[in-house]
Amino acid sequence: MSSTATTIHTEAHAAHAEHELSFVRKYIFSTDHKIIGIQFLFTVLFTLGLGGLLALGVRWQLAYPWTKVPIFGELLWSDNGGAMPAEVYPMLTTMHASVMIFLVIIPGLSGVFGNFCIPLQIGARDMAFPTMNMISYWFMWPAILFFVASFFVTGGAATFGWTSYPPGAGNLQAAPGSLHGQTLWLLGLLCVGVSSLLGSVNYITTIVKLRTKGMSFFRMPMTTWALFITAILQAFALPVLTAALILQVADREFMTSFFRPDDLVINNEPAGPGGGQPLLWQHLFWFYSHPAVYIMILPAMGVVSDVITTFARKPLFGYKPMVLAVAGIAFLGFIVWGHHMFQSGMNPALGMTFMTSTMLIALPSAVKVFNWLGTLWGSRIRWTTPMLNALAFVSMFVIGGLSGIFMAATPVDIYIHDTYYIVGHIHYVLFGGSLFGLFAGLYYWYPKMFGRRMSEFWGKVHFAGSFVLFNLVFFPMHILGMGGFPRRYADPYFFETWKDTKPMNQMMTIAAILLGFFQLILLLNFFLSLRRGEKAGHNPWRANSLEWHTPEIWPGHGNWGARTPTVHRGPYEYAAPESEEDGYYPQTTPPPGSQAERAHAH
């Protein structure tokens, strides 16, 4: 369908105004981007809970190994005295990471904000391909079902890490979880891939074709920019992962040998025909999964830029450098995947080139941080819940970014590779970064999504608790990593080297459990505010960007009434001389004295 056809279609649609759609078409199989965004949001709140519980299982074992797991132990492992069996532990780490990465962060950022914000922020009536958008959402569910079902099949869930390295993951004999759990994992990931790819194509097309009058590329808010570049990143990287997943399925189920070397014997059984190369999987996997790291952080950076400017009442410092930095990260993101493979047996000379490119990718990240600092300088900060979460993003991302340099340094990586150092690092980026970014966006756009506000008080309680506990859980991981504490060990205390680290692990586990409880505050606040929240009005934060300037608070299908808005300036012209007392100067206000202004006033 061409974009003009879409526009005509949706305009006609808007003209019909409120012709009744059935409940199912309106809220379940909806093609409205706003509903789809909200569907993603509800789904992600559910998967976040799932991933969190898996994490607590991991934490329990690290703090109190081989003891009865509270609540779940009795239910699941009563024959083992309620304690977790050794083969379950790697399933928990594998599935925790897989759920959080593929079912929470990626759909949470791209799915929720991509769908909800892009058309509103660029003044479009909907996505370019609304039906495809609906399909993109519904591909999440088979993925969730495959992942959940994998716990109940013979052998249990996938067990060779979210990276699923063969020959472990590629051969049925390698572990119980390599039986059917791994196949389900692969199928689940294929579905996530389809979902992301359909979303990406949609976002790219929408942004290129459906911007409203006056909305040039360099007047787009950072959220849209970041989602745009992320979508391009996804669209180019995902096919490689998809191919790799299919190859691994073939290796496992049809005895091909893409990743199986000669004469492989696993568990005293010949594994199958040889001739393959295990490292090939790692290259293919990381060719996607390194960019995926940025797919998981760039949209959050966009969200945070929008939130910070709104509550700093100040233009974004260095808008163009910020856009360039995102583009730079995306470009460099394609040539650094080998930094996950420094110790893999890959040619060490290659390691040197990957190390150099990895060092360089720290640069655009640093530029982003400096520009956020520049934005805060001379600002007028308003301490709202979204702002607090956005500030947490900035300060935690600083830690996550700096700790990355240690791993990028190849000789240091020899020692800290596959230790808790990397676990700490990834959580500072993905929890301290992406998840706080997601929280910021959630609190920020909630009034737009539901017409009501979440409780500021409970929002702040949730933030303060999460921020403190997050640091207590994850910062000590760097210290453990310095001690060489290995990741994915069900019982590190089996080693003399790490036997003294139990007290700290217990502290971290207790903090993690509390952190989990604090998320209940978020859930309660979220659901209770749907009905009881204070009415938000059109623009509760007095933000400039287009999404807050729809004709109705919660616009129907088509968003903009009879005519899409005209944009007169960038999204961050807070505090401009023409602006109102609090710096408010929306993108839609015509410049003073212009013809448009006179017409507007009339």
Q: Which residues pair with 157 in a beta bridge?
A: 181
Smallest distance, other proteins to C-beta of residue 497, A: 5
Nearer to Cu ion, 169 or 220 (CB): 169
Sign of CA dihedral 588, 593, 595, 601: positive
Residue 21 interaction partner, one of other proteins, Cu ion, none, beta carbon < 5-8 Å per kind: none
| Distances, alpha carbon 96 to alpha carbons 144, 211, 304, 404, 489, in Å | 13, 38, 26, 22, 15
DSSP 542: -
Nearer to other proteins, 110 or 171 (CB): 171
Smallest distance, other proteins to C-beta of residue 212, A: 23
For residues 486-525, which are near other proteins according to CB under 8 A? Answer: 486, 488-492, 494-501, 504
3-state class (DSSP) for residue 486: strand
Alpha helices in 64-155 (DSSP H): 72-76, 88-98, 106, 115-122, 130-138, 140-149
Q: What is the per-residue binding string for other proteins in 103-132, x denoting contact by CB under 8 A?
A: ------------------------------
Smallest distance, Cu ion to C-beta of residue 336, A: 6
Peptide bond into 167 cis (omega under 30): yes
Residue 51 interaction partner, one of Cu ion, other proteins, none, beta carbon < 5-8 Å per kind: none
How far from chain centre, in Å, is Cα 299? 8
Nearer to Cu ion, 59 or 425 (CB): 425
With 0-12 / 13-18 / 19 or more C-beta atoms within 10 angstroms meaning exposed / middle / buried, residue 91 is buried
Nearer to Cu ion, 14 or 293 (CB): 293
> Which residues have CB under 8 Å from 529's CB, separation 6+?
446, 450, 452, 453, 454, 455
Q: Are 433 and 393 in contact (CB under 8 A)?
A: yes
Q: Is 87 in the site for other proteins (CB under 8 A)?
A: yes
Q: Is 348 in the site for other proteins (CB under 8 A)?
A: yes
Nearer to other proteins, 3 or 80 (CB): 80
Residue 318 interaction partner, one of Cu ion, other proteins, none, beta carbon < 5-8 Å per kind: other proteins
Residue 504 interaction partner, one of other proteins, Cu ion, none, beta carbon < 5-8 Å per kind: other proteins
- Which member of 153, 412, 507, 514 binds other proteins (CB under 8 A)? 412
Q: Is 218 in the site for other proteins (CB under 8 A)?
A: no
With tokens 């509800």, the residue in question is: 42
Cα–Cα distance, 454 to 443 (Å, whole number): 7
> Which residues have CB under 8 Å from 517's CB, separation 6+?
none
Smallest distance, Cu ion to C-beta of residue 93, A: 15
- Which member of 378, 552, 554, 594 binds other proteins (CB under 8 A)? 378
Of the candidates 289, 284, 251, 47, the residue with the CA atom closest to the CA atom of residue 146: 47
Of the candidates 265, 290, 295, 260, the residue with the CA atom closest to the CA atom of residue 278: 260
Of the candidates 44, 252, 254, the residue with the CA atom closest to the CA atom of residue 155: 252
With tokens 């909907």, the residue in question is: 126
- Which member of 138, 236, 406, 458 binds other proteins (CB under 8 A)? 406
Residue 490 interaction partner, one of Cu ion, other proteins, none, beta carbon < 5-8 Å per kind: other proteins
How far from chain centre, in Å, is Cα 502? 31
Cα–Cα distance, 561 to 563 (Å, whole number): 6
Nearer to other proteins, 109 or 390 (CB): 390
Nearer to Cu ion, 290 or 368 (CB): 290
Q: Are 342 and 413 in contact (CB under 8 A)?
A: yes
Q: What is the per-residue binding string for other proteins in 284-323, x denoting contact by CB under 8 A?
A: ----------------------------xxxxxxxxxx--
- Which member of 235, 409, 510, 513 binds other proteins (CB under 8 A)? 409
For residues 281-340, which are near Cu ion according to CB under 5 A? Answer: 290
Nearer to other proteins, 274 or 537 (CB): 274
The DSSP string of 220-277 is S-HHHHHHHHHHHHHHHHHHHHHHHHHHHHHHHHS---SSPPTT-EETTEE-------
Smallest distance, other proteins to C-beta of residue 86, A: 5
Size of the site for other proteins (CB under 8 A): 119
- Which member of 507, 510, 514, 576 binds other proteins (CB under 8 A)? 576
- Which member of 49, 142, 261, 590 binds other proteins (CB under 8 A)? 261
Size of the site for Cu ion (CB under 5 A): 1
3-state class (DSSP) for residue 37: helix
For residues 128-167, which are near Cu ion according to CB under 5 A? Answer: none
Smallest distance, other proteins to C-beta of residue 368, A: 11
558: phi > 0 → left, psi -120 to 50 → alpha, else beta; which?
left
Residue 236 interaction partner, one of Cu ion, other proteins, none, beta carbon < 5-8 Å per kind: none
Q: What is the per-residue binding string for other proteins in 444-483, x denoting contact by CB under 8 A?
A: --------------------x--xx--x---xx--xx-xx
Smallest distance, other proteins to C-beta of residue 166, A: 8
Residue 283 interaction partner, one of Cu ion, other proteins, none, beta carbon < 5-8 Å per kind: none
Residue 290 interaction partner, one of other proteins, Cu ion, none, beta carbon < 5-8 Å per kind: Cu ion
Smallest distance, other proteins to C-beta of residue 276, A: 8
What are the residues binding Cu ion (CB under 5 A)? 290
